[in-house]
Amino acid sequence: MFKAIMIEKDETGYRANLKEVDESQLPAGDVTVRVSHSTLNYKDGLAITGKGPVVRKFPMVPGVDLVGTVEETSHPAYSVGDAVLLNGWGVGEGHWGGLAQKARLNGEWLVPLPSQFTPQQAMAIGTAGYTAMLCVLALERHGVTPDKGEILVTGAAGGVGSVAVSILSKLGYTVVGVSGRPEENAYIKRLGASEVLERSAFSSAGKPLARERWAGAVDVVGSHTLANVCAATQYRGVVTACGLAGGMDFPATVAPFILRGVTLVGIDSVMCPRAERLIAWQRLGTDLDIAKLNLITNEIGLAEAIPMATKLLDGQVRGRVVVDVN
């Protein structure tokens, strides 16, 4: 038996509870992992609370991230005792995930735990941090160098935002954060932002084009915020869009794209090819300051993940949440 958060949906409703689960119930897979830590991402919050259509099968163990050691394997790349990491691939959505003491997975989804990180640190990064790195890689790929100007990061006190601010500042970019929580401004500046702007300046309908300010951007909010960020992006600047914390819509015009040559880059971490994941994790090993990672992280137990999910969706959580599942 092992402990897991289990999401069920039936005629009595949608619910998440901590349960004892028999190992024989684990899904099919060629690697069984003894999980040490998982995390809470925005998507896990949606899954646990049922506020978004994340879970595709019931019952479901949530948790899009996990780290642990291989307990059983028939996959040639892994041996018993290997430390492994998983982000995405639909785990915690359509296949039982990381908010449990055990997981059985497809070995192709796993990556070796990078030697620079402890299991806790890997989960402090988690999908949110690895997505932040994918955004930075996209800015670089499209030629945004530190000399081009300021980089805007929205949702800066959240998981993706905190890691993005930290990485970009370490790489020498001038970073401006956007946050709806003035009490977190000092925190965002400690992570490396030179300035923090108020969320409300971005969250309602703006002009198709505004003063050109941003050389690049990492947007986790979507909706009017993303439209306003594009409208104020410099000629040939680059906006990476990875989130929908403010809404799934995109009420924009084509003006920034056709008049200023702005590039909008979509970022998906879930199905991102393995080769790019390995690059992202390797770059996290060199470009993320571990001292800042400690500043970003809170640790909780498995049972606490359920109430924390509601807080996360309410925008009350700073940085990243690591879940010690044991």
Residues that bind ligand NDP (CB under 6 A): 41-43, 127-128, 131, 155-161, 179-181, 184, 199, 203, 220-221, 225, 242-246, 267-270, 312, 315, 317
Alpha-carbon gap, residue 47 to 53, rounded angstroms: 7
Give the residue from 225, 222, 212, 220 showing the smallest Cα distance to 262.
212
Shortest separation between residue 145's beta carbon and ligand NDP, angstroms: 24
Q: 237 or 246: whose CB is closer to ligand NDP?
A: 246
Shortest separation between residue 315's beta carbon and ligand NDP, angstroms: 4
Measured from each CB, the residue nearest to ligand NDP is 158
Q: 119 or 177: whose CB is closer to ligand NDP?
A: 177
Q: Angle 192-198-204 (CA atoms, 0-180°, nearest 5)? A: 135
Alpha-carbon gap, residue 14 to 9, rounded angstroms: 4
Give the residue from 43, 61, 116 showing the smallest Cα distance to 85.
116
Q: 87 or 233: whose CB is closer to ligand NDP?
A: 87
Shortest separation between residue 208's beta carbon and ligand NDP, angstroms: 21
User: Which tokens is 250 given?
Assistant: 């995109």
Chain center to CA of 96 = 19
Alpha-carbon gap, residue 154 to 166, rounded angstroms: 13
Q: 36 or 39: whose CB is closer to ligand NDP?
A: 39
Shortest separation between residue 319's beta carbon and ligand NDP, angstroms: 7
Q: 156 or 191: whose CB is closer to ligand NDP?
A: 156
Pairing assessment for the beta strands 214-219 and 65-73 based on DSSP bridges:
unpaired
Shortest separation between residue 33's beta carbon and ligand NDP, angstroms: 21
Shortest separation between residue 34's beta carbon and ligand NDP, angstroms: 25
Alpha-carbon gap, residue 123 to 192, rounded angstroms: 21
Alpha-carbon gap, residue 97 to 105, rounded angstroms: 9
Cβ–Cβ under 8 Å, residues 73 and 32? yes
Given the structure tokens 């959505």, which residue do they identify?
A: 93
Q: 286 or 316: whose CB is closer to ligand NDP?
A: 316
